[in-house]
Chain A
């Protein structure tokens, strides 16, 4: 069966510091991968998605970036965090297109980021 991991679970960082959040998926190949952010009491906002190694699509202009160095690894980064980057970051995966219910996304446990 497939599992998705995220770390760290929680993170407190000062303004201006760098960020690296990691997401890995097990038990599947060539998944579609997604990064979402959830502000307190709000719905999820898609930040980045990737359909393959090195292929990243950005949804929202910001000081965040994403990379996919391996098939099942997705990294969210920032060189200098802003107060507005605080939130709950969720990684998700879906099977590659063409499979049944290929677009159902399954989420990881999330990382709660506080920027002070």
Chain B
């Protein structure tokens, strides 16, 4: 069965430092997408970064990078130079291409950035 696991319920990081949020996934499909979303206290889900299963290079979007290790089925999010505004819930998700593109979400990691 397809599943996303985020083992860190909460994380703290000092402002301006880098932080890695862990995500592992389980699927027998060969074609899938991996996503990270940010959810601030307002509730809106903000798309951060995407990695396709056939992409050989790790995705990067500004201060966000996705450390994709296909053999280990991990898709960790790295945030460089943390800012106070990065404090939020972060969700890892997997898209199933053969099931209407629906997303399966992990339980999330709450990140707190300390000044």
Enumerate chain A interface residues (CB-CB to B < 8 A). Answer: 32, 34, 36, 42-46, 49, 51, 57, 59, 88, 90, 92, 94, 97, 101-110, 112
Is there an interface contact between A44 and B105, defined as CB atoms closer than 8 Å?
yes
Enumerate chain B interface residues (CB-CB to A < 8 A). Answer: 4, 33, 35, 37, 42-47, 50, 91, 93, 95, 97, 100-108
In the complex formed, the residue of B with least CB distance to A107 is B45
In the complex formed, the residue of B with least CB distance to A109 is B44
Enumerate 12 A-B pairs (CB-CB under 8 Å) in ascending A order.
Answer: A32-B100, A57-B100, A90-B45, A92-B103, A97-B101, A102-B101, A104-B35, A104-B50, A105-B35, A107-B44, A109-B42, A110-B44
Contacts of A105 in B (CB 8 A): 35, 47, 95, 101, 103
Is there an interface contact between B43 and A49, defined as CB atoms closer than 8 Å?
no
Given the interface pairs A43-B106, A103-B95, the reply to whether A32 lies near B44 with Cβ below 8 Å is: no
- Distance in Å: Cβ of A115 to nearest Cβ of chain B: 18
Is there an interface contact between A42 and B103, defined as CB atoms closer than 8 Å?
no
Is there an interface contact between A103 and B105, defined as CB atoms closer than 8 Å?
no
Given the interface pairs A42-B107, A43-B91, A103-B95, the reply to whether A94 lies near B43 with Cβ below 8 Å is: no
Given the interface pairs A107-B44, A109-B43, A109-B44, the reply to whether A51 lies near B100 with Cβ below 8 Å is: yes
Is there an interface contact between A43 and B95, defined as CB atoms closer than 8 Å?
no
Contacts of A94 in B (CB 8 A): 101
- Distance in Å: Cβ of A102 to nearest Cβ of chain B: 8
